[in-house]
């Protein structure tokens, strides 16, 4: 696609990898729409951060488990910033950790509603706007998956891992469908990264040491390392890459 105005919508952009991606993308000239569900103050702080550095950003509430919210999110972004040219699906939840024999149907349904169906509907809305078949100019999408999807997750995370496995399978299929219509779609699979979602558990020194011992590089990842990789996947530097799963995990797992 051309190097005209770039508008990036980030779901789950108020914290963690999404927030870091927003800040760095703004520095690269993207106009940013930060979606959030409950982190109102944090989302507005990221927007203010970007504004003080001369960038343009807005914060938009919306629940990824709600189709009407997703449609409205895209419409409001377009009204405020122009056509959505880039999308990062970063919103996600852990669900409830536990063994299969402890599953709760409602918790499972919500996990998949947010991590899978919500992400797919965001991709639907993006395709309707970006695809040359619909009069768009193309675009790039990055779906945030997880290394958990590659081997079923760490103990107690089988449901979360299954949701991320679905993201990867969908990414591959979707990428092929729209490859000739100017849209690239790739998946980033972070390993254990220090974010608001993980810091509670990583504050436990014993847990953190066991995690770091299982990573070939011997350390956990940082949000900025994920953000820089996402920006590369969004950029023309990765122009011949679509349908790829990129592992950003310090080498994966040593089992």
Domain ranges of the chain: 7-194+222-248
State the Cα–Cα distance between residues 33 and 24, nearest whole angstrom: 13
Does residue 1 have a pLDDT over 80?
no
pLDDT of residue 197: 78
* pLDDT tens column, 142-199: 999 999 999 999 899 999 999 999 999 999 999 999 999 999 999 999 999 988 778 8
* pLDDT tens column, 196-249: 778 888 899 999 999 999 999 999 999 999 999 999 999 999 999 999 999 999
pLDDT band at residue 254 under the 50/70/90 scheme: confident
pTM, full prediction = 0.95
Residue positions annotated with a catalytic role = 160
State the Cα–Cα distance between residues 249 and 8, nearest whole angstrom: 25
**193-194 and 221-222 as β-strands: parallel, antiparallel, unpaired?**
parallel
State the Cα–Cα distance between residues 149 and 152, nearest whole angstrom: 6
∠ Cα 44 59 106 (to 5°): 105
- Average pLDDT, integer, range 104-128: 98
Query: What sign results for the dihedral spanned by CA atoms 196, 200, 203, 206?
Result: negative
- With a CB cutoff of 8 Å and minimum separation 6, the contacts of 212 are 218, 219, 220
Residue 205 has phi, psi (to 5 degrees) of -60, -40
State the Cα–Cα distance between residues 190 and 177, nearest whole angstrom: 25
pLDDT of residue 4: 65
Selecting from 3.40.960.10, 3.40.50.720, 3.40.50.1100, 3.10.100.10, what CATH number does the domain 7-194+222-248 have?
3.40.50.720
């Amino acid at each position: 696609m051309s190097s005209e105005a770039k508008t990036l919508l980030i779901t789950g952009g108020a914290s963690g990898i999404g927030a870091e991606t927003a800040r760095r993308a703004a520095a690269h000239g993207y106009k940013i729409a930060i979606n959030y569900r409950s982190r109102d103050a944090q989302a507005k702080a990221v927007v203010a951060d970007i504004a003080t550095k001369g960038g343009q950003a807005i914060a938009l509430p919306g629940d990824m488990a709600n189709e009407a919210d997703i449609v409205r999110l895209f419409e409001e972004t377009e009204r405020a910033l122009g056509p959505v040219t880039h999308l990062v699906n970063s919103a996600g939840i852990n669900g409830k950790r536990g063994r299969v024999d402890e599953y709760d149907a409602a918790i499972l349904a919500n996990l998949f509603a947010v991590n899978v169906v919500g992400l797919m509907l965001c991709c639907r809305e993006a395709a309707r706007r970006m695809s040359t078949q619909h009069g768009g100019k193309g675009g790039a999408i990055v779906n945030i998956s997880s290394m958990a999807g590659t081997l079923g997750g760490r103990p107690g995370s089988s449901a979360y891992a299954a949701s991320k496995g679905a993201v990867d399978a969908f990414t591959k299929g979707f990428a092929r469908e729209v490859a000739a219509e100017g849209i690239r779609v790739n998946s980033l699979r972070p390993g254990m990264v220090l974010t608001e979602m993980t810091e509670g558990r990583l504050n436990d020194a014993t847990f953190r040491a066991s995690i770091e011992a299982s990573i070939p590089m011997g350390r956990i990842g940082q949000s900025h390392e994920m953000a820089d990789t996402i920006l590369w996947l969004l950029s023309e530097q990765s122009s011949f890459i679509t349908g790829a799963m990129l592992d950003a995990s310090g080498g994966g797992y040593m089992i």
